[in-house]
């Protein structure tokens, strides 16, 4: 199977092909270079011209030429070429189609997967426009949209970078994209955060040079020039800018005729013109650094990528702020090199890390045994302890097939365990602060985690890699949950619930009517019915529309957790005074109430729905209740001071509980 990565930049397009013969860049058939201009033109005879051929037509037919397609994707307005309207996504599709066609000439294998680089500032609408362009180009396989600085980090830093924190500064033709990347001592890369500005890039520098030429030589500026003259002036400005990559003075013919016949521009003049653009970019960098508790001096190095970073005028201003690490690759190609991660090497088998308080690990490994129900819970016993976290365990989730267990901790990590043997499979690092919550998607490998740092990270729990980071909350993320259809809900101290497409990270909507910090979210087992715990209220929401179906009765003191029963008929809520309420999901009416002596932080229904587990800080840290009448069935009291998290396995035969003693206890019916 062949894979293709397309860096669909504002200025240029570069394509990386990976197949059985290895990885290589796809050359442009006209220029022979490994990148081509992201330009489209409609010839008078109706033919489409792309790349350099399009630029040749621009000189005589500027009204038939565009090279800023990605900047137009935020609008539904058509682009007019030769007087005819065209949707920006259709024009972008021509560039994708060309990249696919050129790649297919180099491989006999079918191209079955595609990765495209996009700016980090691309919100849901523009991401969807890119996907539409891929579909219009005739590609129907899986498509991954990769943030450009994430790909640039992979392409520039490689496997031999010095451990530390790096800033990837990707100044492309039309956008600024930034990534903070931590290199671990073992060479692993973790993307800590991303940011960007859609208005900064090479085009902003072009505009500054054109304005300088107009003022210096007394010619019509951008606001007054004829479109054909302005197109020629932009071409002259770009020529001057590119020459100054390795010269002190640049020369370009005056394309307007008359005097002077030649424009000149010095590197010192370009430095002055570039300064506002780079300084604005550095302010964006500083905001990103400050959000992560860092400053320039904390960086191991700055990695400049993107075509606009080629200029010494840009590099000099960056060099004044930190140590530059130049990749040695043409800046137009760095992102393309990182779009496709290398094929993972087979992972060595990790030694088991679980300890067993009551016997060998095989007492529960691979043998689920008797389901935990209201009738069998009296015989529940601890059979193993998962150790490895170095601080409190704050969250637990089983994958839908029960083969994986994910745990979150105050030690800033997520850990993934084998659900049959207790073997530690992966340590997922990147949050850089306490991880508060974890949740699996229906596919059994997509894992979401939230932290105090306001971010939600999406992981591949099977291979242990990070897929992307979701930014949208303004305060700590307390809770995450997936629906059966893959919708992701995230709740935060910022008093909102955000809804996302869990597979792509596309933001769908924000529910901002909670009026209190959101402490719990849980989906019904089928459909998009969502229960939300916030302040003293418990709310029911149709997550497909955002409609609030029922507001809470404000009877709780402070809701700390919510849970939906696997059968879908009831849900439960718990508060900091130790009270638990069980509700009818169809009428939002209270059925039963239960009570601990102290705050309850965790709830979980058994697979049979007839048992509810609660975790607290009172003398009996975990209690198991019969949901039919609210009666107490069993107390589990083998703990330290606090139970932060608990979860039943999907088949109901295992209960996992996480505590403030940094461990996860595994229980089953003896």
Comparing 46-60, 473-487, 652-666, the range with the smallest average pLDDT is 46-60
Please tell me the CATH superfamily of domain 160-343, with its number: ATPase, nucleotide binding domain (3.30.420.40)
- The pLDDT score that the predictor gives to residue 522 is 96
* Distance separating alpha carbons of residues 162 and 5, to the nearest angstrom: 26
More confident residue, 369 or 155: 155
Q: What DSSP string runs through 282-349?
A: HHHHHHHHHHTT--GGG-SEEEEESGGGGSHHHHHHHHTTS-B---SS-TTTHHHHHHSPPPPPPPPP
Residue 115, CA distances (Å) to 236, 244, 622 in order: 34, 33, 46
* Distance separating alpha carbons of residues 207 and 134, to the nearest angstrom: 30
Give the pLDDT confidence of 303-312 residue by residue, as tens digits: 888 877 777 8
- The pLDDT score that the predictor gives to residue 60 is 82
- The pLDDT score that the predictor gives to residue 152 is 83
Please tell me the CATH code under which domain 355-549+642-669 is placed: 2.130.10.10
Any bridge partners for residue 491, and if so which? 479, 497
* Distance separating alpha carbons of residues 325 and 323, to the nearest angstrom: 7
Any bridge partners for residue 438, and if so which? 449
* Distance separating alpha carbons of residues 227 and 573, to the nearest angstrom: 64
Give the pLDDT confidence of 437-455 residue by residue, as tens digits: 999 999 999 999 999 988 8
More confident residue, 23 or 586: 23
N-to-C CA span, the chain: 48
Q: Is the pLDDT of residue 328 over 90?
A: no
pLDDT (average), residues 614-621: 73
For the chain, give the longest Cα–Cα distance.
97
- The pLDDT score that the predictor gives to residue 342 is 67
CB atoms within 10 A of CB 513: 15
pLDDT (average), residues 324-328: 72
* Distance separating alpha carbons of residues 555 and 557, to the nearest angstrom: 7
Q: Name the phi and psi angles at 89, rounded to 5.
A: -65, -30
Q: Is the pLDDT of residue 260 over 90?
A: no
Stated pTM of the model: 0.54
Residue ranges of domains in the chain:
1-141, 160-343, 355-549+642-669
Decide if 1-141 and 355-549+642-669 have a common fold: no
Give the pLDDT confidence of 524-550 residue by residue, as tens digits: 998 889 999 998 888 889 998 888 887
- The pLDDT score that the predictor gives to residue 311 is 77
CA 246 to chain CA mean position, Å: 37
DSSP 78: P
* Distance separating alpha carbons of residues 376 and 370, to the nearest angstrom: 8
pLDDT (average), residues 349-373: 51
Looking at domain 1-141, its CATH class is alpha beta
More confident residue, 441 or 185: 441
């Amino acid at each position: 199977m062949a894979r293709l990565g397309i860096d669909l930049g504002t200025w240029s397009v570069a394509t990386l092909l990976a197949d059985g013969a290895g990885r290589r860049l796809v050359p442009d058939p006209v220029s022979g270079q490994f990148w081509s201009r992201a330009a489209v033109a409609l010839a008078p005879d109706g033919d489409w011209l792309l790349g350099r051929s399009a630029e040749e037509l621009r000189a005589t037919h500027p009204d038939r030429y565009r090279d800023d397609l990605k900047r137009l994707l935020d609008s539904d307005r058509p682009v007019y070429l030769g007087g005819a309207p065209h949707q920006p996504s259709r024009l972008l599709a021509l560039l994708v189609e060309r990249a696919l066609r050129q790649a297919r000439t180099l491989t006999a294998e079918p191209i079955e997967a595609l990765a495209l680089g996009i700016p980090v500032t691309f919100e849901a609408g523009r991401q969807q426009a890119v996907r539409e362009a891929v579909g219009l180009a005739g590609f129907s396989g899986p498509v991954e949209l990769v943030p450009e600085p994430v790909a640039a980090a992979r392409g520039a830093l490689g496997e031999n970078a010095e451990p530390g924190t790096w800033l990837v500064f990707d100044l492309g033709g039309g956008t600024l994209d930034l990534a903070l990347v931590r290199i671990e001592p073992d060479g692993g890369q973790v993307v800590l955060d991303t940011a960007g500005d859609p208005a900064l890039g090479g085009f902003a520098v072009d505009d500054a040079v054109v304005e300088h030429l107009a003022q210096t030589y007394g010619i019509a500026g951008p606001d007054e020039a004829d479109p054909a003259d302005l197109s020629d002036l932009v071409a002259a400005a770009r020529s001057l800018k590119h020459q100054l990559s390795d010269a002190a003075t640049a020369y370009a013919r005056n394309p307007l005729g008359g005097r002077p016949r030649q424009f000149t521009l010095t590197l010192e003049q370009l430095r002055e013109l570039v300064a506002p653009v780079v300084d604005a970019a550095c302010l964006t960098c500083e905001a990103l650094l400050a959000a992560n508790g860092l400053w320039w001096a904390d960086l191991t190095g700055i990695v400049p990528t993107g075509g606009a970073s080629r200029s010494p005028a840009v590099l000099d201003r960056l060099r004044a702020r930190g140590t530059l690490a130049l990749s040695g690759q043409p800046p137009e190609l760095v992102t393309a090199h990182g779009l496709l991660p290398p094929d993972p090497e087979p992972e060595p088998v990790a030694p088991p890390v679980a300890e067993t308080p009551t016997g060998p690990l095989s007492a529960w490994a691979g043998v689920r045994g008797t389901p935990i129900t209201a009738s069998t819970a009296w015989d529940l016993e601890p059979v193993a302890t998962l150790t490895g976290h170095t601080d409190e365990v704050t969250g637990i989730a089983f994958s839908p097939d029960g083969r994986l267990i994910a745990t979150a901790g105050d030690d800033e990590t997520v850990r993934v365990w084998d659900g049959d043997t207790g073997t530690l499979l992966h340590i997922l690092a990147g949050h850089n602060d306490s991880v508060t919550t974890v949740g699996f998607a229906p596919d059994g490998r997509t894992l979401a985690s939230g932290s105090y740092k306001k971010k939600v990270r999406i992981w591949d729990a099977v291979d242990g890699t990070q897929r992307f980071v979701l930014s949208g909350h303004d305060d700590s993320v307390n809770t995450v949950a997936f629906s059966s259809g893959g919708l992701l809900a995230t709740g935060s101290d910022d008093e909102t619930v955000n809804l996302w497409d869990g597979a792509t990270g596309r933001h769908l909507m924000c529910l901002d009517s909670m009026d209190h910090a959101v402490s719990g979210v849980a989906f019904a087992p089928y459909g998009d019915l969502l229960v939300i715990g916030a302040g003293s209220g418990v709310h029911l929401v149709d997550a497909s529309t955002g409609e609030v179906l029922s507001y809470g009765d404000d009877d709780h003191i402070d809701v700390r957790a919510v849970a939906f029963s696997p059968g879908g008929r009831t849900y439960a809520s718990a508060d900091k005074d130790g009270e638990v309420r069980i509700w009818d999901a169809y009428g939002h009416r209270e059925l039963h109430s239960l009570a601990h002596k102290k705050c309850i932080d965790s709830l979980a229904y058994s697979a049979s729905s007839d048992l509810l587990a609660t975790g607290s800080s009172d003398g009996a840290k975990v209690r198991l209740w019969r949901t039919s009448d609210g009666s107490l069935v069993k107390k589990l009291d083998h703990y330290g001071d606090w139970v932060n998290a608990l979860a039943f396995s999907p088949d109901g035969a295992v209960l996992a509980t996480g505590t403030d003693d940094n461990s996860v206890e595994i229980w089953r019916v003896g």
